[in-house]
Chains A and B, each alone.
Chain A
């Protein structure tokens, strides 16, 4: 075990995977000589060569398209998008091409592609460096969407994503990069895609979350226990598509109260899918209506610090208040 922050866990895993399998190719803007905007691939170009660490032109559609072509022909490409906000020129390649390849070839051809994208707010990125994009892509059958919130999960899920025979969108919350530290096993880990993780056990209510919000939920749960003796169970979905509803439902059936928390703007977000499935499958186990907490329905993260703070961590803490109210319902 070694203690690392989230971005180092990703860096180390990427490095070890590339060292172990020369089919892996990293492609993206500034990933080579510079080592990426967040220095995830620093030194990789020297170590693995320019054939495997490719500085791409400013053309996301091209980057993802080329990666799809590589994936179809024996390589294991990892495309890096500098910020998730810039992925959309490649939406068509992901939606119309990568996701359908296996289906339309009746299973003959798969697309073992990983797309890494740093996402989320809280770093003063303003309108175009703060976006949550998971809902758009989780809606696409054929694409897997992963979003680890701890260094160990990041390492385990990246390892699995690279080995996965299907396209995986690997989302990394930028605010967690250096803020979140934790022990990471030294040997490669296999964390299954499609398996949620109970990050804190409890009996009074279930809180389902992911990304940076997961940490805010854990923090609120600790305070709730200290202040009021209420025991919240916190489930980290880790994978948005496919979604592990069994773990979520098992927890909800135990606590009879459910809350979903996510940073993305609320309407049509991941929380809607989770809440609807809880309602469909565990309605009669519930003692209270499902609570859904998401970001405000605004088109982008505003710049001013006061506004961003209000988006990310409103006061009073709506997660803490929401948990307490739900427990007392």
Chain B
């Protein structure tokens, strides 16, 4: 993975460099998602998209803790997870815009980011579909003895579909090197998760059904996330089998861009905004002695990176329609039969 700690200002002495790296990554994700939102408002991004604003600590902590050849599987809410694997911003931004320079040449868009070269094995839009697939990737790593770990992110809503339970059971039976990370942002689209789930904690309360430890973590506490990320990945890598993590968090915006999220009580929204993970982490690092200039530099770097990515992405041409029937099969695809 590229060195995400590289930047203008040196980290403050006495602080775990991993923490500074984590903050830098979170700041980059935050800057990217804010820009993505701006581009939607300018109608440069067509269709819908699901932002990770407010949930950055989870993807970033795992991004920092993962090895370059580990696997990430995530959902349509996957910009953060993609960038956290070191995928450069420009092709991600270009993909949101549906441009030729996009990560998948414009074929996929916001919801389907994939970069096999970065171990980013896909953003899946059929809820639950990727959990067994992640288990299969972990199986392969186990058989090959490669020491790779698969990390699979999904929402609270996904815990109610069959594929979740199938994947958890078989991963536990086969002691696969996979970490299942439930990002519980309290809502399954517009419906509070508690209204449609038999237990209070949709993932943690079900871990025991698969013989797994119940792991509940504050998904907005970056240090806590980093600890959990390191320990669960470590367990998987050491052959100790799968983990199921429930990270409680909150999205700043609506489910997707068309959603003003009016169904959430104002007090709840206020409470969670006060617990913004980026803000909390900055405060924690400052308390630990990190100088203000460090944050100023990190944020300026992130903004510059996003500006450059936006420039490259918007300059990228629209894809040629000739790619529409390519890569259907390995031999190139079907010629149009019309």
Contacts and interface: CB of A to CB of B under 8 A. Distances in A.
A107 B263 CA distance: 46
B60 interface: no
B195 interface: yes
B127 interface: yes
A298 B324 contact: yes
A306 B319 contact: yes
Contacts of A299: 328
Contact of A126 (B99, B112, B324): B112
Interface size on A, as a range, is 35 or more
B48 to A, nearest CB: 8
Nearest to A125: B47
A296 B106 contact: no
A289 interface: no
Most buried by B among A30, A60, A125, A307: A307
Q: Is the interface of B mostly helix, strand, loop or mixed?
A: loop
B173 interface: no
Given A57-B160, A126-B47, A126-B111, A302 B196 contact: no
A34 B191 contact: yes
Given A57-B160, A58-B127, A128-B125, A33 B191 contact: yes
A303 B328 contact: no
Contacts of A58: 127-128, 157-158, 160-161, 188, 196
Contacts of A124: 46-48
B191 A29 contact: yes
Contact of B46 (A55, A86, A89, A305): A305
B188 to A, nearest CB: 6
Nearest to A318: B338
B195 A55 contact: yes
Nearest to B334: A297
A267 interface: yes
A244 to B, nearest CB: 25
Nearest to A56: B196
A124 B196 CA distance: 30
Contacts of B325: 296-298
A304 B162 contact: no
A82 to B, nearest CB: 8
A59 B109 contact: no
Interface in A93-142: 123-129
B191 A298 contact: no
Given A128-B111, A299-B328, A307 B321 contact: yes
B147 to A, nearest CB: 33
A298 B196 contact: no
A207 to B, nearest CB: 15
Nearest to B333: A298
A61 B263 CA distance: 27
A297 B106 contact: no
Interface of A: 29-30, 32-34, 37, 55-62, 85-86, 88-89, 123-129, 266-267, 293-294, 296-299, 302-307, 310-311, 318
21 contacts: A29-B188, A30-B188, A33-B190, A34-B190, A34-B191, A55-B195, A57-B161, A59-B160, A62-B160, A124-B48, A126-B111, A129-B48, A293-B338, A297-B337, A303-B107, A304-B106, A304-B107, A304-B318, A306-B321, A310-B324, A318-B338
